[in-house]
Structure 1
Amino acid sequence: MALASQSSALSISFRGAQPLHSKPKFLYSVPSISISKSNPPLKGLVSLPYRHHKPLRIFASVSVSNPEVRTGPEDLVASILSKVTQTDGGVLLTTEEHEEVAAVAEELQKYCVNEPVKCPLIFGEWDVVYCSIPTSPGGGYRSALGRLFFKTKEMIQAIEGPDTVLNKVSIRAFGFLDGEVSLKGTLKALDDKWIQVVFEPPELRIGPILEFRYGGESEVKLQITYIDDKIRLGKGSRGSLFVFQRRS
């Protein structure tokens, strides 16, 4: 729902009015006045006749400043999704477009529920539709070099009660081999907004045969800045911005 607020300035000047030396009885009727607000100001002329005196003319000037539009959370959610959809998780966006996403996310923070870590909406499956730092959700596979050999098909995060997090990045290796990188982690609430997830070593599967674990444990900290039944916003400890969209 969009709410708009606007301010109007009304100035009135009197011309041709005669000074009153006595107290005559005024007999006049006020006509209906319709003033159309526009920019630049519109001037309206109204004559009020009365006995024994010349008409009193009122010049009314109405000016309206540009309305300041305040957008509600539903419109902001639709806006941010329209900016990040079909952008390869944000990789295809320009610097200016990343700034636009960040601005909408900042507005949405104002509508975040209290103690989002305790909100039951956190559970479920989410598509990672945007990240301001490409390598944050997919590691080296999402780097500029990695994207030359591994095409990202989808990035999914599933949060299961009471404290399990499953991250999965589906890829196509070398243009013809389907693969998947998955991580399983344990979630811990640090306060009412911040969570910490400690992940086990990642598991890589390429094709129907090749499957192995590599590396060691990893840890991430994420602040939940907004959540509803459609999207969830997160901000990493290093400043990365995430947009998660609930899977239908």
Structure 2
Amino acid sequence: MRLEGKTAIVTGAGSGFGAGIAQAFAREGAAVMVADINAKAAESVASQISGIAQVVDVSDGASVAAMSKAAMDAWGQIDILVNNAGVTHLPTPLEDVSEADFDRVLAVNAKSVYLTAREIVPVMKQAGKGAILNIASTAGVSPRPRLNWYNASKGWMITATKAMAVELAPSGIRVNALNPVAGETPLLKSFMGEDTPEIRAKFLATIPLGRFSTPDDMGNAALYLCSDEASMITGVAMEVDGGRCI
């Protein structure tokens, strides 16, 4: 029960890594808000973990403000924030990515971190404590071709994590990131362009441990970084990638 008595918002928690993180937090005693743009998905995961389902568009300021307010109305405190919601563009030469796709990737992957910080950091500052976890990617460390603007958004997220960590440390707020390699999530097909045995084999050949990241892998890593066991750890972008970035 490492998170007993703590509250956590996990964005993009209706599926994939976010669901794995929400489930791990709930198992360890946290009250969890399952926030997702897909209402049915959020409700499904929330019902499994006795959590709160919240519909949110993390790229929209009013929607993020409503999410924060709902959490405060329910709990009166926000101890943990996981910025997990993310999107990508399809594998495409960088000059051929549409402006609409570029804007969407940066809004969901980057602007969302600013919007959630704007609402939730003041709450954590008032409490004198808090843990923020940004789900970045190995793409921000070791970019793959044809995912250029997705790679860039995750590199932004890693830099934002370190900058936030330095600024917020005096307020008792820790900020870390996780860098997963691709996993069995709704985004996998988008990363690969198409999902065939041949493309999977080629993708897996770049991962020394020979498998994708799983929601459980992410849940366990997130649990550590957001628990008091990691009280001396801030500004870290930890790879959960089976050796992909070596």
- Smaller-chain TM-score range? under 0.3
Greater helix fraction, Structure 1 or Structure 2: 2
- Of structures 1 and 2, the one with the larger relative CO (CA 8 A, separation 6+) is 2
What is the TM-score when the length of structure 1 is the normalising length? 0.25
Max Rg structure: 1
